[in-house]
Structures are given as structure tokens and as C-alpha cells.
Amino acid sequence: MAQDIRVKICGLRTPEGVRAAVDAGAAYVGFVFFPRSPRHVTAAEAAALAAEVPAGIAKVGLFVDPDDAVLDAVLGRVPLDMIQLHGAETPARVAEVRQRHGLPVMKAVGIATEADLAALDAHARVADQILVDAKPRPGDALPGGNGIAFDWRLIANRRWAVPWMLAGGLDPGNVAEAIRLTGARQVDVSSGVEAAPGEKDPALVAAFVRAAKA
């Protein structure tokens, strides 16, 4: 029996990728505004992609330590429904972005050990959602999308006052187990459904959503 698990397909760059996410039943689609990422899109590209997204599917913009000028430039062109902050933003900065732009904010927090869990609690007090991700390894160029997982038992049955989403190293083969171990009701995938960095594979996208909901 299918579960009511909400899936986010992040790092979309093409109309075909957006269509694959929509057809598979994703609840969120993510656009990356981080120039160093192979999944980076410009505001103009994202605006065209956003036009392909049906009503009822949340359009999320991923930013890494953005200043107000960067956010203004993107939000002036792209009709996003949510801002995802994926850098070293403090809880105070999260609250500031949320107030300034009037959009829900999802804050990503990297987890490697139990010592990292306190940051989740701090951000859950100010963000609309939290994204529980794997902490990048030393030397990783990207803050996320590296295809690595953390020990899911660290957050088994933990709950916060806001909705949360599980990310980090998920793919069609392990997402069901990740959901079982953590109790997650929302999952986020990027590299785990790609044929190459930044290139989504429609068959993998469909398989991931199927596995998550099964």
C-alpha cells in the first residue's frame, strides 16, 4: 500500500527533468542557485522551468549563504514557493531571510555525529522546515548533492516542531530503508537519480518516487 511520503527532486535543469519529477508524483521540485554546482541554473533558466511546474507542486530555490542582493535578483524573476538555505546560515539569518522575503524557509543542516543534532533543534525554532542532510566530507566542493549518507540511526524517531525532510545519499535502492529507520515523511534526492552530474534520469526519478511511497 502506498504511503503518503512527500518527495523532493532537487537540482532540476531541463524541461525534461521537471516533467519527469512531475509525472512521477513529486511534491517539490528544486532549483539550485549555487554557481559551483553542476546543477546550477540562472534566474532566467529557472523562470522558464518554473513555468512548466503545475499548481500544487512547490518550487524550491536552493541557495548557499546568499546575500540579500542574490535573493532579490532571483526572487524578482522566479516565482518560488520556498527558499532553501544550504550554507552556514545562522538561525538569526534564517529568521531574517524569512521575514524579509515573506516566503517559507527550509534550512539544511549537515549531520555526521550526535554532536551535530543540536543545530537541528536551533534551526527548527526559526525555520518553516528543516532538511536533515549528510555533512560534507573534508574536501567536498559542495555543501550537498555529494551522494553520501549519514548514520540514519542518529535521528531515528526524533521529531521537531516543524516538518522535516531527509536527504543525503538517497537513491531508489535505499530510500525505503531510510524511511523505515528514521520515520521520515519527506525525502529529498538529487545525485541519486542522475545518469551524470546534473543530468536527471527519468527512469530513476520514477523508481525513486515509487520506492519512497511503497
Residues with catalytic annotation?
10, 133
Do 31 and 145 contact (CB within 8 A), yes or no?
no
Please give the single-letter amino acid code of residue 52.
Answer: E
State the alpha helices, DSSP H only, in the chain: 15-24, 43-50, 68-75, 91-101, 117-124, 175-182, 202-213
User: CB count, 10 Å around CB of 116?
Assistant: 15
**Ramachandran assignment for 157, one of left (phi > 0), alpha (psi -120 to 50 degrees), beta (any other):** left
Coil, strand, or helix at residue 69? helix
C-alpha separations of 103 from 8, 128, 161 in Å: 18, 9, 18
Count the Cβ atoms, other than its own, within 10 Å of residue 173.
11
Of 174, 179, 205, the residue nearest 190 (C-alpha): 205
DSSP sequence for 185-198:
SEEEESGGGEEETT
